[in-house]
Structure 1
């Protein structure tokens, strides 16, 4: 049928040849997209290894033989990321802090544990101003402490208070985002702040914050990678390819701290020296989920249930675990 806006100048007309070629070219990616399955990956700015893979197109190359196309979706925090995983908006979650999965599971999410980054207990801490008279956790009694509700920092605070013979009700809790907490910390509105890297490294280097107590033996601070359970059951081969890529990315970052910090600094808006300081405290070692990691997940869930932060008790053992073959 003749096009209404083009004169019929025969099959050799240059404009017709151009349009035909353009239409043919546009159909090639469409055909490929129809043939390939899409893997939607959610990540945060703290998802160093996934962002590293994203920046280099590593997963796109690794998954192409499996006929999998990758799309990337950024989230501002861990819980919305896992909520998206549960409702089917994404299939795979980059790392979230250890306190996040119990909240998603308490809300009924069907998630599969896929991998962990091994413990990095020094990557989160309770900090006070350099000139603060506070020298131990017991002195926080009756004082205002800033932290993100339900975060790994919250769990660290619960454990630190318990060790000092205190409960969460013995302090004045200030539930603040990292940005708001940093402002409150610097203007003296709070006596202490419980925070994780790279915010921890930033407040140390830029504001002279003093570490009162880090994770030490209280909180391992593992980071967890999770998948939607239906996807994990259907595509274990994809999870295996992602697992291998994450391991290699972690190895590269630990073996190349300078170049890694230079690469990541502009991504998170910090100077390279601060990023390097944070990276020293994070293991970036990716391994299969083990019984020890799941045991701490249960302890975290129980602590939040007891503190009435979680609405119901979560049984971590009921959640499936993917392991590399």
Structure 2
């Protein structure tokens, strides 16, 4: 698959090097966070985040985890895509990370089979991911022979391929380039690409001079839903359930802040994205944010006795990815149901 194994090996090596340089304390013999602060508290919690205007940036900005886990060193590492988060997970470089539903589907499938699970939905993707083209491209069919960039293995990549398929275009009819969001913005400014499927804040920059052909919200309405998901290493979740519970509660707190004090939430996101509060508020509104109670509904993660529809969505994404030869085989539905951390979620929001 276009030297995929070589790229994966190189990525793992890079992530391991980054861990050695920047992650305080490294990993213990079992691959978990270094040491224990006592009473089952991790000495270090390593989080992989992305510049997406959801509750995770509020938690980071407000230092709620640092306050709630005073005996744990919180290490925040920025990633540009879910594919990079998967690589870091394989390397044991982070404990919790943010990845889109497409890379999580790949992570739970062969050949990756990453030992992690999904305890939280950061957001259901809406208008914050879209396909933008230069003026002169009238519709999706006009992309034939054009150069379109997207981060491979991301939700944007999944959505781009779905949009092309709807238009009757095969992947081979479009020159699809694998680029991270910062590189997409630079390539757009140079005129090197004709379009891109990407997310905010880079999306907002492209929309200033380009035309939006389709958004992920529109594709979701046609059955191609995507979401930004949290993934936690199985080893960490099993060893430090109290820390995971605290993390989940802080994420829920952030969603509730968006609802109760939009100005404060927008100000926090604005600081993290270097935006004006008004622009941050606009970008937050492009997402669907769910609190802990909503996440336990049948439409999303569900409960330990009744896994939610997110598992069905991941299974459908796997079927699509298999047709694109992005995974070796489609796991059965129970494999994706097992990948939902419904017990961890229920424990975090149990009454009393």
* TM-score range relative to shorter protein: 0.7 to 0.9
- Aligned: 1:79 with 2:83: yes
1:146 aligns to 2:152 (yes or no): no
CA-to-aligned-CA distance 1:231-262 (integer Å, 9 cap, x gap): 32344343333222211201212443333333
Post-superposition shift, 1:111? 0.8
| Mapped partners of 2:311, 2:245: distance in 1 | 20
Change over 3 Å in CA distance of 1:104–1:63 after alignment to 2: same
1:321 alignment counterpart: 340
- Alignment length (residue pairs): 286
Residue 58 (structure 2) aligns with: 52
**Residues 185 and 205, structure 2, Cα contact 8 Å, conserved in 1:** no
**C-alpha distance 55-192 of structure 1, shift in aligned 2 (>3 A):** closer
1:232/1:322 contact within 8 Å kept: no
How far, CA to CA, are the matches of 1:190 and 1:89 in structure 2?
33
Query: In structure 1, what is the Cα distance between the partners aligned to 2:226 and 2:267?
Result: 25
Q: How does 1:35-114 map to 2 (within 5 A)?
A: 36-46=41-51, 48-63=54-69, 69-77=72-80, 78-93=82-97, 95-105=98-108, 106=110, 107-114=112-119
Instruction: Give the SS at the match of 2:88.
Output: helix
If the length of structure 2 is used for normalisation, what is the TM-score?
0.72
1:201 maps to which of 204, 209, 213:
204
Going from structure 1 to structure 2, the CA distance change for 1:82 and 1:145 (only over 3 Å counts) comes to closer
Identify unmatched segments of 5+ residues in structure 2.
1-35, 303-307, 348-352
**CA offset at residue 124 of structure 1?**
0.8
Separation in 1, partners of 2:93, 2:43: 12
Q: CA RMSD in A?
A: 2.6
For 1:166 and 1:39, the matched residues in 2 are separated by 47
Does the CA contact (< 8 Å) of 1:83 and 1:104 recur in 2?
no
The yes-or-no answer on 1:177 pairing with 2:194 is no
CA drift of 1:175 comes to 1.8
Q: For residue 54 of structure 1, give the secondary structure of its aligned residue in structure 2.
A: helix
Q: Determine the C-alpha separation between the residues in 2 that align with 1:310 and 1:320.
A: 17
TM-score, normalization by structure 1: 0.77
Provide the C-alpha distance between the structure 1 equivalents of 2:245 and 2:178, rounded to a whole number of angstroms: 38
Q: Which has the larger radius of gyration?
A: 1
Which consecutive aligned stretches of 4+ in structure 1 deviate over 6 angstroms post-superposition?
A: none
Structure 1: stretches of 5+ with no match in the other structure: 1-31
Q: Pick from 258, 276, 297: which aligns with 1:253?
A: 258
Moved more, 226-235 or 156-165: 226-235
